[in-house]
């Protein structure tokens, strides 16, 4: 196994011993390979993140670098994965303070803190908002700050609970580039199917197990299953499949220019 990979094995969990959320969830987090987690309503997407965050006791194993996570060493899990939840609230007065807060908790030197913040400042050109109060920001900027306040800790994995859809396309792509440049692997829980195309792998959980699991386009090819579970497909994939069905094209196009060229030869 490669360094930094995480195996989640035979995960079993219920909040109250009556309603079982997971009966047998089993998957890998691969370092450097981004992952989308999808699932119907109340299939346990957020719960899965809470377990990865070490909030509840579970049956089954989470294995980091061959070491099983247990009561004594679950700090390793927290260091490895940072989770941004939907109801995470921002605490500090200004954006700068918000970004500083987690770094101060990590006991970093002032110099290191400033380097990391300057880095973000250059990457996202957010100088204008750095000293603004968080409540005065737009939804896009607030969400960005929320995500960055975790990403700035440079965790191995950054798990985000359905927040990417609050970002505009430009910011979203900047963020993905930023995570990439810091070797942070994104785990994106999402209900917005268009976002699936940004990640390498998809994991779909359904009725307590991992229903489908694999590379993005491979998973999307299970069109019938995904539609039965209640999902739509990303627009270009959906369009390609249906045009393929009518015999107008013979493969999936993710790029509109190429598709149009192939349709109107």
Partner 1 sequence: MEIIFNQLSYVINQKNSKEIKYLDNVNLVINGGNIVGLWGENLEIIGSLLTVIKRPSKGEIKLDDLLIKKSTHINNVNGLRKRIGVFLSKSYFNEKTVKDEIKSVMKNFEYKTRNVTKHIVDSLKLVGMSEDYLNRNINELSFTEKKKVELASILSYNPEVIVLNHFYKGLIFRDREYFKKLFLKLKNRLHKTIIVIESELDYFFGLADKVYIFDKGKLIVSGGKEIFYNDKIYPYAKMPKIVEFTKYVQSTGHKILEYTDIKELIKEIYRNV
Residues at the site binding partner 1, with contacts judged by CB under 8 A: 15-16, 38, 40-42, 44, 46-47, 86-87, 133, 136, 138-139, 162, 165-166, 168-169, 191, 193-194, 230-232, 234-236, 238-239, 242-243, 246, 248, 256-257, 260, 263-264
- CB closer to partner 1, 65 vs 242: 242
* Distance of alpha carbon 29 from alpha carbon 33, whole angstroms: 8
* Distance of alpha carbon 211 from alpha carbon 227, whole angstroms: 13
Q: Do residues 52 and 77 make contact, with C-beta atoms less than 8 angstroms apart?
A: yes
Minimum CB distance to partner 1, residue 181 (Å):
25
- CB closer to partner 1, 32 vs 230: 230
- CB closer to partner 1, 180 vs 242: 242
Minimum CB distance to partner 1, residue 256 (Å):
5
Q: Which residue has the tokens 């993140």?
A: 49
- CB closer to partner 1, 107 vs 169: 169
Residue 12 pairs with which residues in a beta bridge? 59
Q: Do residues 152 and 116 make contact, with C-beta atoms less than 8 angstroms apart?
A: yes
- CB closer to partner 1, 71 vs 246: 246
Minimum CB distance to partner 1, residue 102 (Å):
23
* Distance of alpha carbon 206 from alpha carbon 115, whole angstroms: 43
- CB closer to partner 1, 53 vs 114: 53
Alpha helix locations (H) across 137-168?
139-151
Minimum CB distance to partner 1, residue 242 (Å):
5
Minimum CB distance to partner 1, residue 9 (Å):
24
Minimum CB distance to partner 1, residue 166 (Å):
8
The DSSP code sequence of 234-264 is -HHHHHHHHHHHTTS-SS----HHHHHHHH-
- CB closer to partner 1, 185 vs 210: 210
Minimum CB distance to partner 1, residue 35 (Å):
18
Give the torsion through C-alpha atoms of 233, 235, 237, 240, to 10 deg: 130
* Distance of alpha carbon 162 from alpha carbon 139, whole angstroms: 14
CA nearest neighbour of 103 among 93, 86, 117: 117
Query: Hey, what are 163's tokens?
Result: 């927040």
């Amino acid at each position: 196994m490669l360094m930094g990979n995480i195996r989640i094995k035979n995960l079993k969990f219920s909040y109250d011993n009556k309603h079982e959320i997971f009966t047998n969830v089993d998957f890998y987090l691969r370092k450097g390979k981004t992952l989308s987690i999808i699932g119907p309503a109340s299939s346990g997407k957020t719960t899965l993140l809470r377990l990865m965050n070490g909030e509840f006791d579970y049956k089954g194993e989470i294995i980091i670098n061959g070491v099983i996570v247990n009561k004594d060493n679950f700090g390793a899990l927290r260091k490895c994965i940072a989770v941004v939840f939907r109801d995470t609230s921002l605490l500090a007065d200004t954006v700068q303070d918000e970004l500083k807060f987690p770094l101060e908790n990590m006991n970093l030197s002032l110099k290191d803190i400033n380097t990391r913040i300057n880095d973000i400042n250059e990457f996202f050109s957010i100088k204008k908002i750095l000293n603004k109060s968080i409540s005065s920001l737009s939804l896009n900027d607030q969400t960005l700050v929320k995500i960055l306040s975790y990403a700035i800790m440079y965790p191995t994995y950054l798990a985000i609970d359905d927040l990417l859809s609050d970002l505009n396309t430009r910011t979203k792509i900047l963020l993905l580039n930023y995570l990439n440049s810091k070797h942070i692997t994104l785990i994106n829980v999402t209900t917005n199917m268009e976002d699936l195309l940004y990640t390498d792998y998809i994991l779909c959980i359904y009725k307590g197990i991992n229903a489908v699991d694999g590379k993005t386009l491979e998973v999307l090819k299970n069109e019938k299953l995904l539609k039965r579970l209640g999902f739509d497909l990303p627009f270009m994939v959906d369009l390609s499949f249906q045009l393929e069905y009518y015999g107008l094209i013979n493969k999936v196009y993710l790029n509109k220019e190429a598709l149009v060229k192939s349709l109107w030869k």
